[in-house]
Structure 1
Amino acid sequence: MWCLSEDKQWARLTERFRWVADMHQVPQDPRHHAEGDVAIHTRRVLAALTEAVEFIALPQQQQELLWAAALLHDVEKRSTTRIEADGSVTSPNHAKRGELTTRAILYRDIVTPFQLREQIAALVRFHGLPLWIMARPAPERALLSAALRLDTRLLAMLARADVMGRDCEDKAALLDNIELFELFCQEQQCWGQARPFASDYQRYHYLTHPQASVDFEPYEQFHSEVILLCALPGMGKDRYIAQHAPGMEIISLDDIRRQHRLSPTDKSATGWVVQQAKLQAKTLLRRGAPFVWNATNITRQLRSQLVELFTAYRARVKIVYLEVPYAQWLQQNAGREQSVPMRAMEHMLSKLEIPQLDEAHEVELRVQDVK
Structure 2
Amino acid sequence: MNTINKEWRIPTIQLKENLDWESIEKEFDWLTTLRSIPQDKIWHQEGDVFTHTKMVVEALIKLDAFRKLEEYEQYILFLSALFHDIEKRSTTSTEEIDGIERIVSPNHAKKGAHTVRSILFNKYDVPFMTREHISNLVRLHGLPLWAIDRENPSKEVIKSSLMTNNHWLSILATADVLGRICNDKEHILFKIELFEELCKENNCWTKPYQFASNYGRYLYLNKSGIAPFYKPFEDLTNKAILLAGLPGVGKDTFIKKHFPDIPMVSLDEIRRKNNFDPTNSKHNGKVVQIAKEEIKVLLRKKSSFIFNATNLSQDIRQKWIGLFIDYKARVKIIYLEKSLEDTLKQNKDRKWTVPENVIHKLSYKLEVPLCHEAHDLEYITQ
TM range (shorter): over 0.9
Moved more, 60-69 or 306-315: 306-315
Q: Which residue of 2 aligns with 1:318?
A: 332
Alignment partners' CA distance in 1, 2:93 and 2:354:
34
- The SS at the match of 1:84 is strand
Q: Which residue of 1 aligns with 2:221?
A: 207
Q: 1:233-269, CA deviations, whole angstroms, 9 ceiling, x for partnerless residues?
A: 1111101110011111111111222222211111333
Alignment partners' CA distance in 2, 1:275 and 1:351:
23
What is the TM-score when the length of structure 2 is the normalising length? 0.93
What is the TM-score when the length of structure 1 is the normalising length? 0.95
Q: Which residue of 2 aligns with 1:112?
A: 126
Q: Which residue of 1 aligns with 2:27?
A: 16
2:242/2:306 contact within 8 Å kept: yes
1:15/1:21 contact within 8 Å kept: no
* Structure 2 counterpart of 1:278, one-letter code: K
Q: 1:305-349, CA deviations, whole angstroms, 9 ceiling, x for partnerless residues?
A: 222211221111110000111211111122333332333222211
Q: Which residue of 2 aligns with 1:290?
A: 304
- The SS at the match of 2:289 is helix
Correspondence 1:299 to 2:305: no
* Structure 2 counterpart of 1:274, one-letter code: V
- The SS at the match of 2:378 is strand
* Structure 2 counterpart of 1:169, one-letter code: N
Q: 1:162-186, CA deviations, whole angstroms, 9 ceiling, x for partnerless residues?
A: 0001111222211111000000001
Alignment partners' CA distance in 2, 1:11 and 1:82:
29
Aligned-residue CA RMSD in angstroms? 1.4
Correspondence 1:332 to 2:346: yes
Q: Which residue of 1 aligns with 2:61?
A: 50
Q: Which residue of 2 aligns with 1:26?
A: 37
1:227/1:320 contact within 8 Å kept: yes
* Structure 2 counterpart of 1:152, one-letter code: N
- Pairing partner for 1:154 from 165, 168, 192: 168
* Structure 1 counterpart of 2:183, one-letter code: E
- The SS at the match of 1:351 is coil
Q: Which residue of 2 aligns with 1:346?
A: 360
> In the comparison of the two structures, how many residue pairs are matched?
368
1:26/1:78 contact within 8 Å kept: yes
* Structure 2 counterpart of 1:342, one-letter code: E
- The SS at the match of 2:61 is helix
Alignment partners' CA distance in 2, 1:304 and 1:342:
27
1:227/1:291 contact within 8 Å kept: yes
Correspondences of 1:1-371 after superposition (within 5 Å): 1-4=7-10, 5-7=12-14, 8-85=19-96, 86-368=100-382
* Structure 1 counterpart of 2:75, one-letter code: E
Offset of residue 223 of structure 1: 2.9
* Structure 2 counterpart of 1:82, one-letter code: S
Unpaired runs of at least 5, structure 2 = 1-6
* Structure 2 counterpart of 1:25, one-letter code: S
Offset of residue 271 of structure 1: 2.8
Alignment partners' CA distance in 2, 1:287 and 1:324:
35
- The SS at the match of 1:343 is helix
